[in-house]
Amino acid sequence: MAEFIRFDRITKFYGPLCVVENLDLGIDKGEFVSLLGPSGSGKTTILMMLAGFEQPTAGTILLDGVAINDVPTHKRDMGVVFQSYALFPHMSVGENVAFPLQMRGMGKAEIGERVARALDMVQLSALADRRPSQLSGGQQQRVALSRALVFEPRVVLMDEPLGALDKQLREQMQLDIRDLHRRLGLTIVFVTHDQSEALTMSDRVAVFNKGKIEQIGTPRQVYDEPATRFVAEFIGETNLVEGVVETVQGEEATVRLPSGVQIVSAISGAVTSGQPVLLSIRPERVDLTETRGEARNVLETEVTDSVYQGDHLRVQLQNAAHPLIAKLGRKSREFQPGTKVYAAFSARDCRVVAS
Amino acid sequence: MAIKLGKLVFAVLAILFLVAPLIAILPLAFTSSVILTYPIPSWSLRWFEELFTADAWRRAIINSLIIGTGTTLLATVLGTAASLGLRNRLIFFRGSIRTLFLLPMVVPAVVLGVGMQVLLARFGLANSYAGVIIAHTVVAVPFVVVSITGALAGIDERVERAAESLGASPATVFRRVTLPLAMPGVLSGAVLAFATSLDEVVLTLFVAGPNQRTLARQMFSSIRENISPAIAAAAFLFIAATLLVGFVVVLSRFMLRKRQQA
C-alpha cells in the first residue's frame, strides 16, 4: 500500500506553548487511523492542520506526495465531521448534503441523485426536507457524516464525532462507520479520547501524549504490547508493578519484584539488567488458583474484595508489596475476602515498560 | 399584597411618565383648529392633508426618505464589514477598536456636528445629500455594529469551517452561510439605522442646507415659527412609521426563525 498522507516533522506552537512536537506519521490509502489521547495531547490540532484550519509552525504535510501546507481548506478535498455536527441550521437536511456538490458545480439532476444515495446510506432518506434542529443528535451526526462523504473526498477527518451521543447510539455508530469505511474504501483519520472507540474501529491507533506519539500500532499491539507506561495506563485497565530487571534473554526479561519474587515477562523496547522498570499485567489475564500451579509467574496474594459486575468478577488482591486486580470470567467461582490465593499469569501476558 | 399593588401602581406611573408626551401630542394631529392647543373643537384630517400638500412638508418627507434610505444602506454595509472584521481574533486591540466604533453613540451630537460641518465643507460636501447621509451614517453605524456583532457571536464558527472543508471559498462561505445566519441582526441593524436617520436633528442642523430639510428638522423649525398642528400630524406619521418598521422587523425575524426550524 502506498503512503497517502505524511506528516513530516510537524511542529505546532500556540504562542510559547508547544502542542505538537516533531511529529512523523504516515497514513496509507484506505486506512483507518485513530489519533487517541487525553485532551490537550495535540490530536485535534493535528487534524485541524490536516484540514487546513491551522498552519503548522514547522514541517510539511504531504497528501499523495504533494505538499499541501499552502493549499487552502476549500481546495483540499477533505470531508470533516465535527463533534458538534456543524450542520447548516438554515438549510434542510437535503440542502446540507447537496452543499458540497453545489460547490463543485455539479448539475441539478446529478446532485439530486447523489444526495438521495448519500442519505439512503445513513438511512435518512425520509427526513431530507427536515431542518437539522428537528433531528435527534444521532440523526444530525448521520447527516454530517453523509455530507462529508457525498462528494467522495480524498480523506475523511473526524473530530470526536461520537462524543456527544449516548453510549448505545455511540456503539451503533462505531459499527456503522467501520462498515462504511470497509465498503467505500475510505481513508479515515479519527480523533478520539475514548480508547474502546479507537480499538473498535481502527486499523491502526496512534496514542498521543503531550504532543508526541507514544506508540502507533494495531489495536492488538497497543493493547497487548504497550510500549510505555502511559500507553499501558491509558488503554484499558492494567496493574503496574515496580521491579528491577535481572536478566534479558531475547524477547523476554526476568524481573525481580521488591518482594523477591522473580517474574518472566515479555519486553517491548530495549532494557538492560539492573534497570528499574514497571510490569504491566492486564487484570483479565490473571488467573486465581488455590494451589501453586504450573504457571511461570505466580504471586501469593490475599483477596481483599470481590465485586460481581455482570459480565465479569472483579477481585482485588493484596500481595506483600502491592495491590493487584484480577478480572475473572463469569463462570469463575466467588472469592471470599481473606482467602489466600495464587495469582498466575504467563510471560506473554505481562509486559515490561520503562518506568 | 400591598407591596404587589405598590409595584403595579409604580409600573403604571413609570410607563405613563414615558408615554405622556405622546399622549399629549397625538390627539392634536386630528384637530380642526389652527393652533396647536387643547381643547380640540372638532376632529379633522386637514393637517395630514396639509402635510402632504404643503410644499415644505412634502419636500421634508421626501428628503427624510432619501436620506434615511441612503444612511441605511451605507451604515448597514459599513457596520457589517466592521462587525466581520471585529470577529477576527488576531486583530490587536480588538476591544479598543470595538469601543471606537461605538463612540459616536456617546460623543455629544453638537461636537460631532461642528466637526462634521468643517470636514464636509472641506471636501465640498456641505449642503449636499451625500454630506447629510455621511453625517447620519456616523451616528447610525454603532447601532448596526452592536446588532450585527451580537448576531455573529451566535454563529458556531465550526459551521463556517465545515462549509470551507466542503469546498466553499471564503467569499462563498460568507454568502451562503455567515450572512444568512446573521440576517436577523443585519435586519435589525438596518432598521435602527433608518430610525436614527429619521430622528436625527442636531447633526442635520449643522450639515444640511435648505434643500436637505428633513422631516425632523422641519418640525423643529416650524414649532418655533408657527405652532401649527401640522407638527402633531408629522409626529403621528413618525410614530406610525416607526411602529410599522418595527413590526416588519419582528415579522421578518419570526419568518427567518420559522424558515430555519420548519
Q: What is the pLDDT of residues A182-206, one digit of tens each?
A: 988 899 999 999 998 999 999 999 9
Assess contact for A54 and A45: CB atoms under 8 A. yes
Question: To 5 degrees, how large is the angle CA A98–CA A102–CA A108?
Answer: 80
Residues with Cβ within 8 Å of residue B89, at least 6 apart in sequence: none
Whether the pLDDT of residue A1 is over 50: the answer is no
Q: Mean pLDDT throughout A155-161?
A: 92
Report how far residue B168's alpha carbon sits from residue A148's, in angstroms, rounded to the nearest whole number.
13
Q: Mean pLDDT throughout A313-318?
A: 88
Domain positions in chain B: 61-214
Do residue A90 and residue B259 have CB atoms under 8 angstroms apart? yes
Could you give the percent of chain A with pLDDT greater than 90? 47
Mapped onto helix, strand or coil, the DSSP state of residue B55 is helix
Do residue B167 and residue A77 have CB atoms under 8 angstroms apart? yes
Q: Mean pLDDT throughout A302-317?
A: 87
Whether the pLDDT of residue B49 is over 60: the answer is yes
Lowest mean pLDDT among A19-33, A218-232, B95-109: B95-109
Q: Which three cell numbers stand for residue B141?
A: 453605524
**Residues of chain B contacting residue A53, judged by C-beta atoms under 8 Å apart:** 161, 164
Q: Which segments within chain A are labelled E, that is strand?
A: 3-14, 17-28, 32-36, 58-63, 66-67, 78-81, 155-159, 188-192, 204-209, 212-217, 239-249, 252-256, 262-267, 276-281, 287-289, 297-308, 312-318, 323-329, 340-345, 350-354
| Nearest to B228, CA basis, from B31, B87, B76 | B31
Residues with Cβ within 8 Å of residue B1, at least 6 apart in sequence: none
Confidence of residue B10 (pLDDT cuts 50, 70, 90): very high
Report how far residue B59's alpha carbon sits from residue B57's, in angstroms, rounded to the nearest whole number.
5
**Residues of chain B contacting residue A79, judged by C-beta atoms under 8 Å apart:** 165-166
Assess contact for A47 and A159: CB atoms under 8 A. yes
Q: Mean pLDDT throughout A44-58?
A: 93
Confidence of residue B260 (pLDDT cuts 50, 70, 90): low
- The chain-wide mean pLDDT, for chain A, equals 89
Q: Mean pLDDT throughout B135-163?
A: 92
Report how far residue B164's alpha carbon sits from residue A181's, in angstroms, rounded to the nearest whole number.
23
Cβ contacts below 8 Å, chain A against chain B, sum to: 77
Q: Mean pLDDT throughout B59-73?
A: 92
End-to-end CA distance of chain B: 44
Assess contact for A131 and A123: CB atoms under 8 A. no
Q: Mean pLDDT throughout A67-89?
A: 91
Q: Mean pLDDT throughout A4-22?
A: 91
Q: Which residues pair with A7 in a beta bridge?
A: A25, A61
Residues with Cβ within 8 Å of residue A13, at least 6 apart in sequence: A19, A57
Question: Which domains are seen in chain A, by residue range?
Answer: 3-229 (3.40.50.300), 238-354 (2.40.50.100)
Q: Mean pLDDT throughout A262-278?
A: 85
Is the omega angle on the peptide bond into residue A89 within 30 degrees of 0, that is, cis?
Answer: no
CATH class of residue range B61-214: mainly alpha
B41 vs B160, residue with greater confidence: B160
Could you tell me which chain B residue has the CA closest to the CA of A148? B166
CA distance B243 to chain A (A): 28
